[in-house]
Structure 1
Amino acid sequence: MVKNVRTYSSRVKTGCITCRRRRIKCDEAKPSCQRCTAGKRPCEGYAPQVKPAAAMRMIVYTATATASPSTPSYPVADPERNAFQFFLAQSRACFPVEFSRAILQAAQADRAFTHAIVCFGAAQQIYEFEDDPDARARLGKLAMIQYGKALHLLQSPTSAPSSTETLLLCCVLFACYEGLRGCRRSAVVHIKSGLDLLRQCGAQTRWALLSREAMIALFTRLDNQVVELLGTSMYETLCEKKPTERAFAPRPLTVELSTPAASSRSSSESRAPMSIDTRLNHIFHRHLDMAEAMQALPDLPPAPKDESTPTSPTPLPPDDPQGQFPSDDMDAELLHIWHIVAHMCVAMAPGTAPEEAWDEFFPEFETIVSLAERYLRRSRPSGQKRRFGFNIGVIPALYMAGVRCREPQIRRRAIRLLAEYPRREIMWDSTVTAEVCRRVMEIEEGTVTCRGMESWERSSDDILESGYEGSGIKLVTRVRNVNAVLDDDGGARFEFQS
């Protein structure tokens, strides 16, 4: 008796999408197969051919007896070397000079820095220049492998313990890498770890690569990012229970880390101007303190405005020489933008001033948008599709204009700039920010628009004919607060409170 023997054959995966779905043989004619044409069915074309991924290989670096301690640990394989060269040519210009010099100096002796530099160089190359899927996949894999190697060296029990300075510098680079690839919650975790570690540094901490003041300036900028982006929702993002006393950033960083030694500096040093980041850190923390205090109180009617006793804005803190990057020269237009933002924030006390009080700042918002427009047009290099920056940028200021300014033309100009000049400034993403501002505009104006820009780009005549009066706007409602909660998948949830 002969048994039936079932034969197996490999399934053909090169036919058109239509024939493969119908499970019939395809003649693979281009651009449309003959089977679909004869059957009068639309041929959906052919799926792109994916090249098989090369087998992963691990390179083990071992120190030789003849190696000199000053021998650079720079990569020798082509992909790693190319990413390292990209960092030298492009990436280091995005950071303060002191930080770039410090990590390049450290890479000569510590391979963890080399892996971190290669990781960031590959990630920035993907974001700023690459749209080809194969190139993005190749560079993305390289960045992830280098990221894992850097973390392994820093945490390995067999390697020499990393210094506090090494861990802090790596925290900065890791946070920027996670922000570049869109995993902003992971970036917040790195920033929080660095802030906690920096607060634990005592007088015995040795600062060989970067001065203590410069390190504080780095984390002041990162702290500003977290506070201004997340606000009171930072604990939800970190999946932590909100403590009765705020533990994540209890005080402005430079105030919390001030020491008697710092206060006893010479009079010439004490008269040094405070950096813009330090001023903003004080303002953002004051607003966060007030916002958390208001959340703890029951809803109360707004206090009547007493015209006889006009309120005066809280003055900025006195000048403090901490938090400075002497060679971190800011663009004049950016300085002007943030000077306006700082004084607007000082004048607006959260929870005490009515939301309509933002309408008094139409001239300031228009100046901010005009300055940002000039800056963005001038700062985009040719051939660069997107841009990453560590320095204080324009996205938060344009976000404020898009959310708080109810003058229709100014608001639309701000959203258009965010959409037309894609960039990431550590955790701020201009494309996501444009979508949030657009949603706020739709809620307040009572309109539902498409995702395309054309649906809301109207001329001033169209705006006047559709229910606007003069430079004002007939609002259906007002969005008083936007909360962002970041997740592990690189996304974000936004809550609009009206």
Structure 2
Amino acid sequence: MPSTGPTSGSEKSTSTSKRSRVIVSQSKRGCVTCKARRVKCDEQRPLCQRCIQAGRLCGGYKDEIKSSSALQPALKFGVAADSHIERLSHLAVQVLSLDNNGRPLQQAGVWGCTFLQLSTQVDCVKAAAAAFGAAYELSLQNASVERSRSAWRYYGSAIAKLQSGLNNEIAGPESLALASMILACVEVISQHNENALVHFVGAVQILTKAYQGRRGTLSTDMLRTIQDELVRLDVLIGSYAIAQSPASMHLEFPPAAAGDDTFHDPELAIQAAISCLRQAYQFIDVAHRVRYTYPSWREQDVMMCQDQAEAVTQCRLVRKGLAALATKLQAQSSSATSTPRDSETLAELYALRTQLTAALIFLLCVHNPYETGYDEHEDLFRTIVSDAAASARLRRGSRRCALKRFTTRPGIVSPLFFVSMKCRDPPLRALATTMLREQGREGPADGQIMAAVGTRLAALEASTSVPSSPGAPLAACDIPEAHRIYGYGVEPVRLDEQGCRVVDVEFTRPELPLVERWGQLDYSSRENWVFWSEAIKI
């Protein structure tokens, strides 16, 4: 116990000297992690070597004005794709991790310090980054077959290094999971979405094994960060696939509750929206499998009806909360203290609302096998278009960058395509398609490709329909159920003989209309459906 009595001068001097020996002088310009640990930082840029050598996650530098020259290489597009691994990995850093000022996009996220640190420290992550850089460079230009093969060699090298890391345990689970996620992004940007799902599942399995076995020295903050980003990647893949048939969801993490305080904080609101989307996609995936099995599975499965009602309620709750928060932020964005980041956050909230509204429509119609069921939700389709317009307008006002960002956060392309595919109101459908043409690439979804597919789909349905009264414009009710297209599939983009971009699209409709033979034919069997392909120029 410490003494409460008076202390002599010599004792006080001794005590002071002892305390001074344990205090380490700190640099005012040190990294976030060293400052928090109250230790001296070596101030190496872009990441502190002291943190890297100790296996800690370096938090970067808050007072960074310009990014390190190491993160600003000369990105010479047009040179041979196999020229330098360093150049391609730096390109991946520029596209995935840095904003227009060269600062990390998500300081605490996967594509912030975690990716920057592991891509310079771990071979399999660096190889995966180079593969992403090569695939990204190819996506910017009409590359030759030889050039494509050259670029895909980096992908093969990354696969080999990842496999070696798995077999020999020479890399930690956080590095292996991140490498798998990067390879999933390579497949996404190349529009090989089934392969992307395979890599995604691989990352989930690596993470699950790490939590179960607790092998090696685990960096809990890195694993948690990667887990959160996997949820976002899960939603990205699901949001794209929902226009066709929802992809299987493989993450089993507890959902985030949407409490009273959630919609006062943008980041909490975004997390709640992503969690809500995941739950909605999980239900849609299960319900869609039996959509054509029963006249109405509401009569077959009471529990499924309850799950549907809960998913619909949650979607409506989160949509309402996002709308209130967006209104509040919209008022603040007009103030003098508004920042570009505020506009970006607001644009993301509107984009998430489009995703939630598309999911809500699907939830409301998933038990109904008839396409005419979508006609009851024109107001919701209109909301998707208006929210997408608000999001696009805010993003147009932000600072442009020479490099298009790749993000795993959901955007507006797939909801707009959902409108162009499922909304049969001609003016609204045409407006959504026009907006698609103005959009670029969002993850696996390409606005130009989706607009071309939506235009052709609308033309096929309109060509076999006539207005209800002579001289009147075509309305949604004038497109019969038997003439509607139920689904589609898109192959990766190819070049035709003239060098133009072309996609092969496979359309689907029942061989015999549901309205005529429902209950007599098994429409859950593929043999009772018609599939035909068309080459569509972009």
**By the TM > 0.5 criterion, same fold?**
yes
Question: What secondary structure, in the 3-state scheme, does the structure 1 residue paired with 2:506 have?
Answer: strand
Structure 2 Cα separation of the partners of residues 283 and 354 of structure 1: 20
Q: In structure 1, the residue corresponding to 2:97 is in which secondary structure?
A: helix
- Contact 1:232–1:291 (CA under 8 A) maintained in structure 2: no
1:420 to 433, 438, 459: 438
Task: Return the match for 1:293 from 286, 290, 294.
Answer: 290
Correspondences of 1:191-210 after superposition (within 5 Å)? 191-205=200-214, 207-208=218-219, 210=221
The equivalent of 1:151 in structure 2 is 159
Q: Percent identity?
A: 17
Q: How does 1:339-378 map to 2 (within 5 A)?
A: 339-346=356-363, 348-352=364-368, 355-376=371-392, 378=394
Q: Which residue of 2 aligns with 1:82?
A: 87
Residue in structure 2 matching 1:110, options 108, 113, 122: 122
Cα distance change of structure 1 residues 312 and 162 upon mapping to structure 2, 3 Å threshold = closer
Match of 1:224 among 226, 235, 238: 235
d(CA) in 2 for partners of 1:233, 1:336: 20
Question: Does the 8 Å contact 1:195/1:219 carry over to 2?
Answer: yes
Instruction: Tell me which of the two structures has the higher relative contact order, counting C-alpha pairs closer than 8 angstroms and 6 or more residues apart.
Output: 1
Residue in structure 1 matching 2:171, options 156, 162, 168: 162
Q: Which runs of 5+ in 1 are unaligned?
A: 1-67, 238-247, 304-310, 320-326, 449-461
Q: 2:427 aligns with which of 388, 391, 409?
A: 409
Match of 2:459 in 1: 442
Change (3 A) 1:355 1:78: closer
User: Match for residue 455 of structure 1?
Assistant: none
Q: Secondary structure at the match of 1:373?
A: helix
In 2: Cα distance, 1:345 partner to 1:224 partner? 15
3-state SS in 2 of match to 1:389:
coil
Give 1:481 deviation, angstroms.
3.0
Structure 1 residues 112 and 198: CA distance shift in structure 2, 3 A: closer
Q: Tell me which residue corresponds to 1:257.
A: 253
Task: Report deviation, 1:194.
Answer: 2.4
1:127 aligned onto 2:139: yes
Which of 162, 170, 186 is matched with 2:195 structurally? 186
Give distance in 2, aligned partners of 1:192 and 1:282: 17
Whether contact under 8 Å (2:180, 2:203) holds in the other structure is yes
The Cα shift of 1:384 comes to 5.7
Residue in 2 that maps onto 1:315: 313
Q: How far apart are 1:207 and its partner, in Å?
A: 4.6
Distance in 1 separating the partners of 2:449 and 2:201: 23
Contact 1:118/1:143 (8 A) holds in 2: no
Q: Is the 8 A contact 2:127 2:161 kept in 1?
A: no
Residue identity matched to 2:355: W
**Paired letter, 1:438:** T
Is the alpha carbon distance of 1:357 and 1:213 closer, same or farther for their aligned partners in structure 2, counting shifts above 3 Å? farther
* Contact map agreement 2:245 2:288 (CA 8 A) in 1: no
Provide the rounded CA distance (Å) in 2 between the counterparts of 1:338 and 1:415: 17
Amino acid of the residue matched to residue 314 of structure 2?
L
Relative to structure 1, the CA distance from residue 301 to residue 332 in structure 2 (aligned partners, 3 Å threshold; closer, same or farther) is closer
Choose which of 477, 486, 503 in structure 2 pairs with 1:481.
Answer: 486
The number of aligned residues is 378
What TM-score results when the alignment is normalised by the length of structure 1?
Answer: 0.61
* Residue identity opposite 1:375 in structure 2: S
Give the Cα–Cα distance (whole angstroms) in 2 for the partners of residues 302 and 278 of structure 1: 25
Quick one: structure 1 residues 167 and 467, their matched pair in 2 at CA, closer, same or farther if it must change by over 3 Å? farther
CA contact (8 A) 1:399 1:434 kept: yes
- For 1:234-266, what per-residue CA distance to the aligned partner results, in whole angstroms no more than 9, with x for missing partners? 89x9xxxxxxxxxx536xx3xx2349xx99xxx
Match of 1:494 among 476, 486, 506: 506
Partner SS state of residue 494, structure 1? strand
After superposition, what is the alpha-carbon deviation per residue over 1:55-87, rounded to whole angstroms, capped at 9, x for unaligned?
Answer: xxxxxxxxxxxxx9689x999997333333333
CA distance in 2, matches of 1:167, 1:232: 31
Take 1:220 and 1:99, find their aligned partners in 2: how far apart are those partners? 12
Q: What is the Cα deviation at residue 446 of structure 1?
A: 2.3
For the residues of structure 2 that align with 1:387 and 1:190, how far apart are their CA atoms? 21
Mean alpha-carbon deviation: is it higher for 160-169 or for 380-389? Answer: 380-389
Q: Indicate conservation of the 8 Å contact 2:97/2:116, yes or no.
A: no
C-alpha distance in structure 1 between counterparts of 2:358 and 2:493, whole Å: 31
Answering whether residue 449 of structure 2 is matched by residue 432 of structure 1, we say: yes
In 2: Cα distance, 1:164 partner to 1:475 partner: 53
Deviation at 1:106, TM superposition (A): 1.1
Partners of 1:278 and 1:85 in 2: CA distance: 32
Contact 1:389 1:424 survives alignment (8 Å)? yes
Query: Which residue matches 2:395?
Result: 379
Once residues 440 and 507 of structure 2 are traced to their aligned partners in structure 1, the CA distance between those partners, rounded to angstroms, is: 23
Distance between the aligned counterparts of 2:298 and 2:97, measured in 1? 49
Judging by fraction of residues, say which structure has more helix: 2
On the 8 A contact 1:171/1:191 being kept in 2, the answer is yes
- Per-residue Cα deviation, 1:395-430 (whole angstroms, up to 9, x for no partner): 2211111112122111112112223323142x2232
How has the CA–CA distance of structure 1 residues 479 and 208 changed in structure 2, closer, same or farther, with 3 Å as cutoff?
Answer: farther
Rounded to whole Å, the distance in 2 between the matches of 1:124 and 1:282 is 31
More displaced 10-residue stretch of structure 1: 393-402 or 380-389? 380-389
Normalised by the size of structure 2, how large is the TM-score? 0.57
Structure 2, unmatched stretches of 5+, are 1-51, 56-69, 75-81, 100-104, 300-307, 319-341, 495-501, 511-538
